[in-house]
Amino acid sequence: MKPAVNVEQMCPCGLGQPYPACCGRWHGGTMRLQAPDAPTLMRSRYSAYVLGLHDYLLETWHPSTRPPMLDADPPGLKWLGLEIRRSIEHDAGHATVEFVARSKLAGRAHRLHEISRFVRENGRWYYLDGTFPEQSG
Protein backbone atom coordinates (compact mmCIF):
# COMPACT_ATOMS: atom_id res chain seq x y z
CA MET A 1 0.00 0.00 0.00
CA LYS A 2 1.39 3.37 -1.01
CA PRO A 3 1.13 6.03 1.69
CA ALA A 4 -0.10 9.51 0.82
CA VAL A 5 2.80 11.79 -0.06
CA ASN A 6 2.48 15.56 -0.07
CA VAL A 7 3.65 16.86 -3.47
CA GLU A 8 5.73 19.51 -1.68
CA GLN A 9 7.41 16.92 0.58
CA MET A 10 11.16 16.70 0.20
CA CYS A 11 12.37 13.34 -1.03
CA PRO A 12 13.62 10.99 1.70
CA CYS A 13 16.72 10.09 -0.37
CA GLY A 14 18.48 13.28 0.72
CA LEU A 15 19.07 15.02 -2.60
CA GLY A 16 17.03 18.01 -1.43
CA GLN A 17 14.41 17.84 -4.19
CA PRO A 18 10.63 17.57 -3.92
CA TYR A 19 9.57 13.91 -3.87
CA PRO A 20 7.61 13.98 -7.19
CA ALA A 21 10.64 15.37 -9.09
CA CYS A 22 13.04 12.97 -7.40
CA CYS A 23 12.34 9.34 -6.40
CA GLY A 24 8.59 9.80 -6.85
CA ARG A 25 9.00 9.63 -10.64
CA TRP A 26 10.57 6.16 -10.36
CA HIS A 27 7.89 4.98 -7.90
CA GLY A 28 4.95 5.83 -10.18
CA GLY A 29 3.79 7.34 -13.45
CA THR A 30 5.29 6.85 -16.88
CA MET A 31 8.88 6.57 -15.59
CA ARG A 32 8.02 3.88 -13.03
CA LEU A 33 10.83 1.37 -12.54
CA GLN A 34 13.09 3.17 -15.01
CA ALA A 35 15.88 4.56 -12.80
CA PRO A 36 18.69 5.47 -15.23
CA ASP A 37 21.58 4.10 -13.16
CA ALA A 38 22.43 2.09 -10.05
CA PRO A 39 22.92 5.04 -7.64
CA THR A 40 19.51 6.46 -8.65
CA LEU A 41 17.91 3.06 -8.14
CA MET A 42 19.63 2.81 -4.74
CA ARG A 43 18.20 6.19 -3.69
CA SER A 44 14.73 5.25 -4.96
CA ARG A 45 14.87 1.99 -3.02
CA TYR A 46 15.86 3.80 0.18
CA SER A 47 12.92 6.19 -0.33
CA ALA A 48 10.67 3.19 -0.92
CA TYR A 49 11.78 1.70 2.40
CA VAL A 50 11.05 5.03 4.15
CA LEU A 51 7.60 5.23 2.53
CA GLY A 52 6.73 1.54 2.91
CA LEU A 53 6.52 0.86 -0.83
CA HIS A 54 7.17 -2.87 -0.64
CA ASP A 55 5.80 -3.57 -4.13
CA TYR A 56 8.38 -1.22 -5.62
CA LEU A 57 11.16 -2.85 -3.61
CA LEU A 58 10.20 -6.31 -4.83
CA GLU A 59 9.80 -5.15 -8.44
CA THR A 60 13.30 -3.61 -8.44
CA TRP A 61 14.89 -6.69 -6.84
CA HIS A 62 16.38 -9.13 -9.36
CA PRO A 63 14.17 -12.24 -9.71
CA SER A 64 17.13 -14.57 -9.03
CA THR A 65 17.60 -13.22 -5.48
CA ARG A 66 14.23 -11.62 -4.70
CA PRO A 67 12.44 -12.88 -1.57
CA PRO A 68 8.79 -13.89 -1.96
CA MET A 69 7.71 -11.04 0.32
CA LEU A 70 9.08 -8.41 2.69
CA ASP A 71 8.30 -8.22 6.37
CA ALA A 72 6.56 -5.12 7.65
CA ASP A 73 8.80 -2.60 9.39
CA PRO A 74 8.79 -2.84 13.18
CA PRO A 75 6.42 -0.30 14.77
CA GLY A 76 8.19 2.96 15.52
CA LEU A 77 11.04 2.52 13.01
CA LYS A 78 12.22 5.93 11.81
CA TRP A 79 14.62 6.25 8.88
CA LEU A 80 17.08 9.12 9.46
CA GLY A 81 19.11 9.39 6.29
CA LEU A 82 21.09 7.88 3.45
CA GLU A 83 24.73 8.44 2.56
CA ILE A 84 26.03 7.12 -0.74
CA ARG A 85 29.73 6.53 -0.11
CA ARG A 86 30.81 5.16 -3.45
CA SER A 87 29.35 4.09 -6.75
CA ILE A 88 31.19 2.10 -9.41
CA GLU A 89 29.82 1.17 -12.83
CA HIS A 90 31.86 -1.90 -13.77
CA ASP A 91 30.39 -2.14 -17.27
CA ALA A 92 27.08 -1.33 -18.99
CA GLY A 93 25.29 -4.05 -17.04
CA HIS A 94 26.95 -4.21 -13.61
CA ALA A 95 27.49 -1.70 -10.82
CA THR A 96 28.08 -1.50 -7.08
CA VAL A 97 26.90 1.15 -4.67
CA GLU A 98 28.26 1.46 -1.15
CA PHE A 99 25.92 3.20 1.25
CA VAL A 100 25.07 3.81 4.88
CA ALA A 101 21.43 4.11 5.93
CA ARG A 102 20.68 5.32 9.43
CA SER A 103 17.55 4.56 11.44
CA LYS A 104 16.21 4.70 14.96
CA LEU A 105 14.06 2.12 16.72
CA ALA A 106 12.96 2.10 20.35
CA GLY A 107 15.32 4.97 21.15
CA ARG A 108 18.38 3.21 19.70
CA ALA A 109 20.30 4.37 16.66
CA HIS A 110 21.08 1.81 13.95
CA ARG A 111 23.34 1.92 10.95
CA LEU A 112 23.15 -0.30 7.86
CA HIS A 113 26.41 -0.27 5.87
CA GLU A 114 26.12 -2.26 2.66
CA ILE A 115 27.91 -2.69 -0.62
CA SER A 116 25.08 -3.48 -3.03
CA ARG A 117 25.41 -5.14 -6.41
CA PHE A 118 23.15 -4.09 -9.26
CA VAL A 119 22.58 -5.60 -12.70
CA ARG A 120 21.00 -4.13 -15.80
CA GLU A 121 18.81 -6.32 -17.96
CA ASN A 122 16.76 -5.22 -20.95
CA GLY A 123 17.58 -1.60 -20.15
CA ARG A 124 16.39 -1.80 -16.54
CA TRP A 125 18.46 -1.77 -13.33
CA TYR A 126 17.81 -4.27 -10.52
CA TYR A 127 19.19 -4.71 -7.02
CA LEU A 128 20.93 -8.11 -6.93
CA ASP A 129 22.41 -8.51 -3.45
CA GLY A 130 24.77 -6.95 -0.97
CA THR A 131 27.56 -7.54 1.50
CA PHE A 132 28.07 -5.93 4.88
CA PRO A 133 31.68 -4.75 5.32
CA GLU A 134 31.50 -4.56 9.11
CA GLN A 135 30.41 -8.20 9.33
CA SER A 136 33.21 -9.59 7.18
CA GLY A 137 36.72 -10.33 8.29
pLDDT digits (tens, 9 = 90+) for 75-128: 999 999 999 999 999 999 999 999 999 999 999 999 999 999 999 999 999 999
Beta bridge partners of 101: 82, 112
Q: Can you list the domains of the chain with their CATH numbers?
A: 19-135 (3.10.450.50)
pLDDT digits (tens, 9 = 90+) for 19-63: 999 999 999 988 999 999 999 999 999 999 999 999 999 999 999
Three-state DSSP at 116 gives strand
Q: What residues contact residue 59 under an 8 Å CB cut-off, 6+ apart?
A: 33
